[in-house]
Amino acid sequence: MSHPLHIEPLALNIGALISGVDLREPLPAEQVAAIRQALIQWKVIFFRDQPLSHEQHIGFARQFGELTVGHPVFGSVEGYPEVYSVSKTRFGKRFEGPKLIRPWTGWHTDVTAAINPPAASILRGVTIPPFGGDTQWTNLEAAYDALSPTLRGFLETLRGEHRFTAPEGMAGKREFHDKVAARELVSLHPLVRVHPESGRRSLYVSPGFLKRIDGLTPRESEQLLALLFEHVIQPEFTVRFKWSEGAIAFWDNRSTAHLAPRELTELNHDRQLYRITLVGDIPVGVNGLHSEVLAGEPVLAYAAAQG
């Protein structure tokens, strides 16, 4: 009989630290179920002091679903096709010239440009700077609940276009642009998504990928998106995590958005993390409002992608 997990909430609406488990070994069924339930309840869960190898990271993730290729556009770690390297320098110097920074710049939900965005992501800290480099997450279900009933009802009828593009202000990165062009991903998703396990509704907006609202004029779309993007990153919906070597962050990609640290290029310290994502389903909105692929293929499990 396994010991019960200790789950410590970190913020009112999102985030919990789980202890009392060794992720290097296969978990008993009751611990897998408890971790899955904590993930759905707290949206992002954290573990510390888990020095996993790539193989152990893959083994832990497989207990919760099928694994995608590391990244559908940027590839994977050599020899480990399910693992994506999240390094400080993976894009080099991202910006040249003045940066266009809005309050929501950098916030995103992973790969929502795909018709079936990943269900969850599992990020492992390996090389951690002594300060800085924190990651933040926001609860999109709490953000939806905080809207007026009138606005919620209107948003439930709408879909948004999610497109994989180069970040604003990025220049001189031909290799980056070539990879994006070779793996075009564009999808229409409901602005309000119904969680396939909990049945709860979330404001399914990903500032990094959501470019326009279908059926609105450009100006209407621009203004409504600005309102929604600013709304979902309000502090009361968020949690901030300070990384340590061996820390794990496991988040529900169906109900959260997150922000990678913007100050990394200014830090004189290395930062290396590794990410695995779980195959997701096609989002479904209220009253059966469906997603629609405009360009690209679904993000498949690694084995299926090879077949």
Is residue 201 flagged as an active site residue?
Answer: no
Given the structure tokens 């990153």, which residue do they identify? 233
Question: Of 36, 57, 110, 162, which residue is the catalytic one?
Answer: 110
Is residue 275 flagged as an active site residue?
Answer: yes
Specify the DSSP element, H or E, that contains 108: strand 107-108
Give the CA radius of gyration of the chain: 19
Strand partners, 156: none
Q: How many CB atoms lie within 10 A of CB 77?
A: 14
- Please, where are the H alpha helices in the chain? 29-42, 54-62, 140-145, 149-155, 174-182, 218-232, 302-306
Question: Of 71, 94, 108, 163, which residue is the catalytic one?
Answer: 108
**Is 184:295 a contact under the CB 8 Å cutoff?**
yes
CB neighbour list of residue 114: distance below 8 Å, 6 or more residues apart: 72, 185, 187, 296, 298, 299
208 token code pair: 């990094």
Sign (positive/negative) of CA torsion 43, 49, 50, 53?
positive
Distance between CA atoms of 36 and 13, rounded to whole angstroms?
A: 17
Residue 235, exposed/middle/buried by CB under 10 A (0-12, 13-18, 19+)? exposed
Specify the DSSP element, H or E, that contains 127: strand 120-127
Distances (CA, A) of 293 to 112, 162, 212, 237, 268: 11, 10, 15, 30, 42
Is residue 110 flagged as an active site residue?
Answer: yes
Is residue 90 flagged as an active site residue?
Answer: no
Which amino acids are annotated catalytic? 108, 110, 258, 275
